[in-house]
Amino acid sequence: MPSITVNVDDDLKDRMEKHPEINWSEVTRQAIQEKIETLDMMDELTSGSQLTESDVAEIANKVNENARDRVEEDSE
């Protein structure tokens, strides 16, 4: 399985270290998976669409907020 590197600031790293019971690699993998699934769905929904790039960006921002909320809930 390939590896990737994720950079976080010192404060976030300190906060993560307070929760050694959490598999942060798995949290990251799940977040990436959800993002990819969202992008795939958006691609499918918008193929042949008359939406502008601005419209798509607005929808993407809303989806990202939703995905972020779900990841945070799963991490608790």
The model's pLDDT over 25-60, given as tens digits with 9 standing for 90+, comes to: 999 999 999 999 999 998 888 788 787 888 888 988
**pLDDT for res 55:** 86
**pLDDT for res 52:** 84
- Beta carbons within 10 angstroms of residue 59's beta carbon: 15
Confidence of residue 70 (pLDDT cuts 50, 70, 90): confident
| Range among 7-21, 30-44, 58-72 rated most confident | 7-21
**C-alpha to C-alpha distance for 40 and 31, rounded to whole angstroms:** 14
